[in-house]
Chain A
C-alpha cells in the first residue's frame, strides 16, 4: 500500500484510461449525490402526515347536474342524513375540500384587517360539527363547533365565520409566544373577525405541491356548509367496513338523487388512493432517480472491472517479473487496489465539486434546496467502496499470475 510512486508512474503510461475512469467516477458521484438528495426530499414529502386517521376513510367527490347552485343545500342535507344512517358508517361530512384532495381554497390570515400582507396563507375547510370525528383530527384545546353554529351559504358568497377552529401550526404562526385560543383573527379581507374556539393538533392542506410547502399545515375549519354544484363527502366507516361502504355509499347517493355525477378518476376513492394519487409524481420521480442511480453505479462498476481486467491482461508479464523477484500475491493485490483508490480519490474530489456545482445551478433553476454535505460525504465513501469492490475480481486474478509468466513469450 505504501508504494505509491511506482503506481503513479505506471498510471502516467495509461493517461487516457486513467482520466476516463476518474471522469466516470466524478460524473457518477455528481449525479448520484443530487439524485439521492432528490429522492430523500420526495420521500420526506410523501411521508408527511395529514393529521387524519387515514384508515377506514372514504372520499366521494360529487357534482350536481342541472341543479342551481343555490338549490343544492337540501340535497346535501338529505345526502348527509342518508350517509350517516348507512350500515357500516361511523360518521360523514360534506366539505369543500380535504387534505391531499388536490384542489381547494386558500386565504390569507391576518391579525388586522388592514394589514397589507397576511401572517400566513391557510386552507379553508367548510365543514360542520361532525368534522373532527369523521377526519379523526385531534382537538388539543378549546371546543368543537356546536350544531347551531353551522350556517349554509352559497360558495361564492362566503364572507367569514364568527367561530373557527385552526391547526396548532397556524396558531403558532399567529401567536408564537402563546395560544391563539380565544383570540380574534381575520380570514378574509372583510372587517368581520373570527374567534378561534378550538385548536387541532394537525391537519394538512389539500395540496401536495411545493408551492404550498410554506403553509402545508395551516388549516382553518369554518362552521359553514357551502352550496354549489360541486363538493365532497368524507365518510368514516366502522372498522373493517371500508370495502363494503365503498360499494354501498355511491349506490345510496345515486338512489337518493340521480342528478349527479362522480368523476371517473377522483369520484369515489378510499383515502389510500387519495394519498397515492396526490403523491404520484413525487413517488414517480423518486423511483426514476433510484433507477438512474442504480444504472449509473452498475455501469461505473462494470466499466472499472472492464478496464482493470484489460490492464491486468496487458501487464501479465510485468506481474510475473515482480512475482519472480519476490513480490507476494498480497503485494500484487495491494498494487491494483491502491491504483484504483488513487484514481477513485481523484474522481471523487472532482465529483464532489461537480455535485455541489450542479446543485447550486439547480437551486437557481428549479427552486431546489441546498445539497447537504452528508450526501456528498456518503456518495464519496460509496463510490470509493464501489471502486474497490469492482477492482477486487481483476486484482485477485492478477495476484494469481504465476511467476513463470515472466519467462514466457520472450
Chain B
C-alpha cells in the first residue's frame, strides 16, 4: 500500500512542478539556514568536558573590594581571575581533591637544529594535578609529579604537534627541549587535546582559540625562571614595583584557577573555607570589606563569562524564524494543493477508502516533499557550513563541522517539520464529504 501512495504522491507532485519546486526550495533553504547556524551554536555552546564539568570549579575571591568594580558591575561580582597572593594561598591550603593555579605563557622554543629560527609557542604554566584533573590524554609519557612541582624541576609536557615539529613525531620522553634558553626534559607528549572553549582558562584565552597549546611547564618553575604571563593582566591599582616580580606582589589579576570537588559536601566545605579565608584577610587588614566569593562549576562559569557569542544565538534564532515561515508557507501551499484534489478524495472515499487511508496518502506526499527538501537542505547545509568563515570570526567558524549527526538531523528535521506542516491540510482533506464532490461533478 505504501508504494501505491508513493506513486500517487509522485504523480501529484509532477502535476504541478512549480508548486512542488517552491515547497522543496522553501524547506531546503529553511532547514539549511537552521542547520548551519545550529552547527555553529552547537560547537560554541557545547560542554568541553561533559563527563566532569560539574565537578570542576572556578573560585573567585574579591581582592579588589568595591572600589575596583567597573561602572557596569551592578551585582557586586568579584574579579574573574586571581592575583598571585590569593592563588598561592589556595594552592597551599590544597582543599580540593585536585587543583591547579595556572597562567598563560608564550615562551620561545629553540629547535635542536641550530640553523633554524627560534619559535614562539603558546602554553600554560600549571601544577602537576592539572593533567589528572582535566583528564588530559597523553600520547607518550605522563604529566610530572608533585615533587617536580615543589622542586621546580625543569620538565615539560609538549603537544603532539610540537613533538612532530621538534622530534619528527617520535617518542620524545626523556629528551630535552630548549624553552626560553633553558633545557627542559620532556616527560609527556599530549595526544590530540584541544578543548573548545578553553574552559580551564577562559579569561586569558577569551574562550575560543585557533591555536593549540604547545607547552606545559611546572608553575613554580615558570615563576622562578621569570617566564612572564602572556594573557590579560587587570589591575585596579598600579603595581608598586616594576616587572614580573612586582606583578606577583601586586593585587593585579592574571591567574586562572581550577579545583575538582567531587560532591555537594566537598563543594560546601570549599565554599565555607573560601569565606573563612576572606574573613581572615579582612581581619589581617588586607581586605577592607566582607567576604564576597564565588564558586562556580565549569558550565556556570562559561555562562558567567558569556563565552557563547550573542551573535551565534541571534543568528540561530533568526534562522529558526526563517524555518518557521517556510513551514507556514508549505502548510498553506499543501492546503491549497490537497483541497484542489477534493473530487479525487471524494471518489476514493466513495469507493470505500477510510479516513486513515486519506491520512496515509497525503502525509506520504508531505513526507516526500520533506525528504526532497531535506536532500536539498543537506547540500545547502554543506555550502553553509563551508562558508561560515565568511560570516563569523575564524576561531569560532573553524569549530563548525559537518558530521554524520548534523546530516541525519538535517534530514530528520526536514521530514518531520514538513509532515507536521502537512498535518492540518491532511486533516482538511480527510474531512472532504464524498457526496458533495460527487454531486458537483
The finding on whether chains A and B are genuine partners in a shared complex, rather than unrelated, reads yes
Residues of A within 8 A of B (CB): 16-17, 20-21, 23-24, 27-28, 30-31, 34-35, 38, 63, 65-66, 69-70, 116-118, 121, 154, 156-159, 188-190, 229, 258-259, 261, 265, 280-281, 284-285, 287-289, 292, 295-296, 299-300, 302-303, 306-307, 310-311, 313-314, 362, 365-367
Q: Of the listed stretches B194-202, B268-276, B316-324, name the one at the interface; the rest are far from the partner chain.
A: B316-324
From A70, A157, A295, A306, B22 is in contact (CB under 8 Å) with A306
Q: Are B238 and A31 in contact (CB under 8 A)?
A: no
| Contact of A259 with B328 in the complex, beta carbons under 8 Å | no
Partner of A20, one of B22, B26, B335: B335
Interface of chain A, main secondary structure: helix
Residue in B247, B314, B315, B393 whose beta carbon sits within 8 Å of that of A362 in the complex: B314
Question: What residue in chain A is nearest B441 (Cβ atoms)?
Answer: A409
What are the residues of chain A within 8 A of B120 when measuring CB–CB?
63, 65, 261
| CB-CB under 8 A for A38 and B314, given A20-B331, A66-B118, A116-B67 | yes
In the complex, chain A residues whose CB is within 8 Å of the CB of B332 = 17, 20-21, 24, 303, 306-307
**Extra 18 A-B pairs, beta carbons < 8 Å, given A292-B321, A367-B310:** A24-B329, A63-B120, A66-B110, A66-B118, A66-B181, A116-B66, A157-B243, A189-B237, A258-B117, A281-B311, A292-B319, A292-B322, A295-B322, A299-B30, A302-B26, A303-B333, A306-B333, A366-B310
Instruction: Determine if B119 and A261 form an interchain contact, defined as CB atoms under 8 angstroms apart.
Output: yes
CB distance from A224 to the nearest CB of B (A): 14
A307 to B336, CA, bound (A): 6
CB pair B321–A366 under 8 Å, yes or no, is no
The answer to whether A156 and B247 have CB atoms under 8 Å apart is yes
Taken together as a complex, chains A and B put the C-alpha atoms of A117 and B73 apart, in Å, by 12
10 A-B pairs with the lowest CB-CB distances in the bound complex, closest first:
A157-B242, A284-B391, A310-B336, A20-B332, A303-B329, A65-B108, A66-B108, A366-B310, A31-B321, A24-B328
State how many angstroms separate the Cβ of A153 from the closest Cβ of chain B: 8
Say which size band chain B's interface belongs to: 35 or more
Contacts of B314 in A (CB 8 A): 38, 285, 362, 366
Over the window 226-239 of chain B, the binary record of Cβ atoms lying under 8 Å from chain A Cβ atoms (1 yes, 0 no) is 00100001001111
Inside 8 A of B329's CB, which chain A residues have their CB? 20, 24, 299-300, 302-303
A284–B309 CA distance with the chains assembled, in angstroms: 14
Q: Please, which residue of chain B has its CB at the minimum distance from the CB of A310?
A: B336
The answer to whether B26 and A299 touch across the interface, beta carbons within 8 angstroms, is: yes
**Beta-carbon contact of B335 and A292 below 8 Å:** no
Cβ-neighbour of B315 out of A69, A116, A288, A307 (below 8 A): A288
Contacts of A280 in B (CB 8 A): 392-393
- Encode contact with A along B205-228: 1 for CB under 8 Å, 0 otherwise: 000000000000000000000001
CA distance A118 to B68 in the complex (A): 11
